Amino acid sequence: MADVASGPQSDTLTAALEAQKYVQSRLIPTAKTTSFRSIPIIDLSPSFSSSLAARQAVARQINEACTTVGFFYITGHGMESTCERTLKLAERFFHELSQEGKEAIHMKQSQHFRGYEPSDHTSLNGFTSKESKEAFNWGYEEGLDPTGGDGKYVELDGSSAGGKNLWPDEKFLPGFYEGIAEYYGKILQLCKHLFRLFALSLALPENYFDAMTTHPGGIARLLRYPPSTNPKPLSALNKDEELGLGAHSDYECFTLLLQDSTPGLEILSPDGHWISAVPVEGGIVVNVADFLMRWTNGVYKSTVHRVVNRTDKERYSVPLFYSINYDEMVETLPSCVTMENPSHYPPVTAGRYVLDRLGLTLNGGY
Ligand SMILES: O=C(O)CCC(=O)C(=O)O
Ligand SMILES: [Fe+2]
């Protein structure tokens, strides 16, 4: 793809820098946007019905959540036992794999942000220099996609050599890849289902995004947050250096997050209050990310969030950042442009936008 050649491009880099400024501006309390104190829970079960009216009813709830909070929980998604198994896999990865095993798949060997990421390797948007989280990252592989993909997968930079994941040696972590494959296959299917609901929620044809997600971007991570050295009640603010993950918004279309029973995720209401996204039994957290915010002309909110583990327990979580095909160039969605709200954003390629955002988080840059 000519427009996604390697190296930062000035137009998308500008978009990335603007997005960073946008995030910073949202860290300043304002009375202009609706504030919130809770995160809606949406039961997805009716959306699997053959009745369009039932699917539209769920889509309306999604629209309400995305235009206000930017976050919601989904229940009734059918992945409950897989979610439990995946969180156990996360625990196994960090506990059972030796330091040597982790070093063997260190992210510095990857051009695509894959592999093991110790706590000091990245920090978000330069807001914080020290984060306590450690991670294991991987991305889309056709072999993990139940549809088999369309053979056209490209990485963020437009290169077509996919499948560059760095997996731990099976003999040190038996069953790991198989477990990840089960989770990833199911969550990709759920993301496609959600995208159809997003389409309905935006007054677009239900299959509007289908052709743009034939080789989707899907970076996923296993995250571990160590116990707090100074456990505090949820209401008390910890010092900056105890941040698990700094304040940020996500970059792609939307994120699906599994979290264990230890709270830690907090989302920022526009009036400056941090709201705890407490774990909900069987619930997956969904949030709008910056690319979808931009694509919807700001109609759907991409909300700033952070992680602070205030407990004396470890915390595990598993986000998946879902994107349309990285080589897809998009313009503002037609249903989000009106006379009062003309398009604010020039066309951009999905992968290039995310790559430039990611480049800004690496300690030391590209
Ligand atoms: O661990 C969590 O709860 C959230 C992680 C997150 O926000 C991210 O990785 O972007
Ligand atoms: Fe996030």
pLDDT, tens digit, 9 for 90 and up, residues 185-207: 999 999 999 999 999 999 999 99
Distance from residue 228's CA to the centre of ligand 1 (Å): 17
The confidence band for 229, taking pLDDT boundaries of 50, 70 and 90, is confident
The pLDDT value given to residue 4:
36
Other beta carbons within 10 angstroms of residue 191's beta carbon come to: 21
Neighbours of ion ligand 2 (CB under 5 A): 250
Lowest-confidence region among 143-147, 207-211, 311-315, 352-356:
352-356
Q: Which ligand is nearest to the CA of 320?
A: 1
CATH architecture of 8-359: Sandwich (2.60)
Residue with the smallest CA separation from ligand 1 atom 10 is: 250
- For ligand 1, residues with CB inside 6 Å are 223, 245, 250, 257, 259, 264-265, 305, 307, 317, 319
Least confident interval from 26-40, 84-98, 243-257, 261-275: 26-40
For 204-227, what is the mean pLDDT?
97
Residue nearest to atom 5 of ligand 1 (CA): 319
> Which residue has a Cα nearest atom 6 of ligand 1?
319
pTM assigned to the model: 0.90
Distance (Å, rounded) from C-alpha 73 to C-alpha 287?
Answer: 9
pLDDT at residue number 138: 97
Q: Say what the pLDDT of residue 131 is.
A: 82
At 114 the pLDDT is 93
Mean pLDDT rounded to a whole number for the chain? 88
